[in-house]
Amino acid sequence: MLPLLLTMFAMAMPPAFADDRDIGNSEPGRSPDAGKSEVGSEIGDEPDGETAARASATSTAESVCPRAEDGLVVPSRQRFVQSRFLADFDEALVSHGVLELNDREIVWRVFDPIEVAIILGKNGNFQSIDGGEPEPLPDLGASGNALLGRAGIEALLRGDTRSLDRFYTLSRERTDKGHWRITLTPREDTSSASVQPERIELRHCERLLEIRVEQAGGDRLLIEFED
């Protein structure tokens, strides 16, 4: 059984829907260092004005994007694009959906290729497929790993990395756009490929922009939140 984290993201799609393992060509990803000058002037150096402008833009981006520990802005309703990449298939499954978050529950709803809603609430977790009756889902967070339950997923959305530190080592770096990229890797003494992903990567500024999930065996998931 997939962990609740991946159940929410992957939406328990039927195996007939295929994904792409050639993630390098079709997956929106980390762009190479942008903005390197290709002006082949005789001097060989950038004009001072361009250098100063770039430095100013970088400084502005870094001052705007807070660290996750400072808390991220979490809209009550936010659209996303979800791309699944299965190691054994050649094409990605791209879905569109809406994330809703309030004090009572988290609702993760995908509209295509089939409609699936995952509800993580204080009174339990449920899944509804094609508008059918909600069916109970297990609370895998009760197994001891907070990331697998509602609290852990909410921590990801809110950038509450402190609560995840017990189970994951965290590393962070700036992207070329001044965003933060945080990588969560399971600690050796708590990792289990059968119940949790090998790595989770978050990209954020004031709010969460992107989630990448990598599983053992090469399956990958990309969630991109729209403005």
The answer to which of 98-107, 137-146, 153-162, 189-198 has the lowest mean pLDDT is 189-198
Report whether pLDDT(32) > 60. Answer: no
CATH number for the domain formed by residue range(s) 4-22+65-225? 2.50.20
4-26 residue pLDDT tens? 445 555 443 433 333 333 434 44
Average pLDDT over residues 205-212: 93
Contact between residue 116 and residue 11 where contact means Cβ atoms under 8 Å apart: yes
Report whether pLDDT(39) > 70. Answer: no
Residues whose CB is less than 8 angstroms from the CB of residue 47 and which lie 6 or more positions away in sequence, other chains included: none
77-104 residue pLDDT tens? 999 999 999 988 889 999 999 999 998 8
Amino acid at 124: G
- Distance, in Å, from the CA atom of 170 to the CA atom of 187, rounded to the nearest integer, reads 10
- Quickly state the pLDDT bin for 196 (edges 50, 70, 90): low
- Distance, in Å, from the CA atom of 58 to the CA atom of 64, rounded to the nearest integer, reads 10
Q: What pTM was estimated for this model as a whole?
A: 0.69
The pLDDT of residue 135: 95
Contact between residue 143 and residue 151 where contact means Cβ atoms under 8 Å apart: no
Of residues 169 and 50, the one with the higher pLDDT is 169
